[in-house]
Amino acid sequence: MSADPSILDHFCVIVNTSHETLNGQCCLISSFDPSKSRYTASAVTSIMPATKRTLQLKAENLQPASSMEQKKYQYMKLKPYELLQDPKYAEVLRNAFQLQTELTSVASSYGLNLSILSKILPVLLLLHTYFFGFIKTFLLVTLITYPIIFSLPSLRLNKPILQCIKSIPLNLSIELTRATGYNVSSSLATIGLAGFYGMGVYTYFKSGGTKVVGGGVDQGMMERIYAKGYDDGSAGKPFGTSLEESVGSGSDVPYDDLGSVAPPPATGLGALGFTHLMSAGLIVKAGFDLGKGTDGVWNPANIVPNGKANPMRLMMPAFGMYRILKALGVL
């Protein structure tokens, strides 16, 4: 039996084997053994733990994978597997999968129906994005998930919700100490958390940055004006033919220039928005990164030498500082 050239070095889907865990898996065909009439295939069957298997399969157990199946396998299994071979990325992905597992376990222990939540939450997020915008949706998700993440140690023990909330500053200080090497007290973590949430809540409830020209025309009138203009355009009439009957009588102001003046831009703290909050977070993170020594311990004396050694790391924090100072009117 000879090899099928349409299969070699291509992605295939495993079918009709006695192992149900393999059926439906995507694999890459690497070679063919004529003596055994078997194709050699490699398949990533698991991400956590990272597992890649070499399989010997018959031709009837393989069918060409569609382009969608190939992309799904490449980006959901093969790429993560390759990243896991790098210790730096492996730690990040391991923490992400561990967090997902812990959140699922905690939700189940508190009696939450995960199947219903997984269907409702995407709809709620899409509706929130539609009515309030992506930035506010992202901010809302951040404000909700941070307390959950930092209260996980208490949630794992099925402690009362109030006790879990009280443990957030302590858990935050422990994580900051571990990440920076600098001893961060619970009181300092509480102040930082309060500042972050104060700015976050203020930004969330603040009106959007789009300038809206005020006026005394209600929504119903605006819709009628729009309808008249649309009808004029459809009938090939000059602009403003029907508008004069509604808003043009007694007015010598051209219809295309009503002389509206946009309100002055906000100043002071009112000019700060979500992007400025992100810039402030970027500046703080850069300070922690530049302050770390070779031993991993944070020391403010390391900021200047590390900044001089790699000036490119200062570009984004400097730009963020410029935007904040400009919004506050300092520059």
| Number of C-beta neighbours around residue 8 at 10 A | 14
Q: What is the pLDDT of residue 183?
A: 80
10-residue stretch averages of pLDDT, the chain, 331 residues long:
71 88 88 87 77 86 88 84 75 71 72 76 88 86 85 78 85 80 81 86 70 54 79 80 59 50 64 77 83 77 83 83 83 73
Query: What's residue 218's pLDDT?
Result: 63
Nearest partner of 139 among 277, 328, 327, 286, judged by Cα: 277
Residue type, 126: L
- How confident is the model over 281-328, as pLDDT tens digits? 888 888 888 887 777 677 888 888 888 887 777 888 888 888 888 888
Write down the CATH number for the domain with range 11-85.
2.30.30
pLDDT value for 3: 63
- Compute the distance between CA of residue 27 and CA of residue 78 in angstroms, rounded to an integer: 10
Q: Residue 86: what pLDDT?
A: 75
91 vs 30: CA distance, rounded Å: 30
Predicted confidence at residue 169, as pLDDT, reads 86
Structure tokens at 154: 């208490």
> pTM of the predicted model, to two decimals?
0.43
- Residue ranges of domains in the chain: 11-85, 88-205, 219-248, 273-327
Which candidate, 208, 193, 195, 212, places its Cα nearest to that of 136? 208
Residue pair 16/58 in contact (Cβ under 8 Å)? The answer is no
pLDDT (tens digit per residue) in 12-29: 999 988 888 888 889 989
Residue 204 three-state SS: helix
Asked whether 140 and 200 are in contact (CB, 8 A), the reply is no
pLDDT of residue 209: 47
At 87, phi and psi to the nearest 5? -55, -35
DSSP structure class, residue 223: H
Residue type, 209: G
Find residue 42's DSSP bridge partners: 28, 54
**What was the pLDDT predicted at 208?**
56
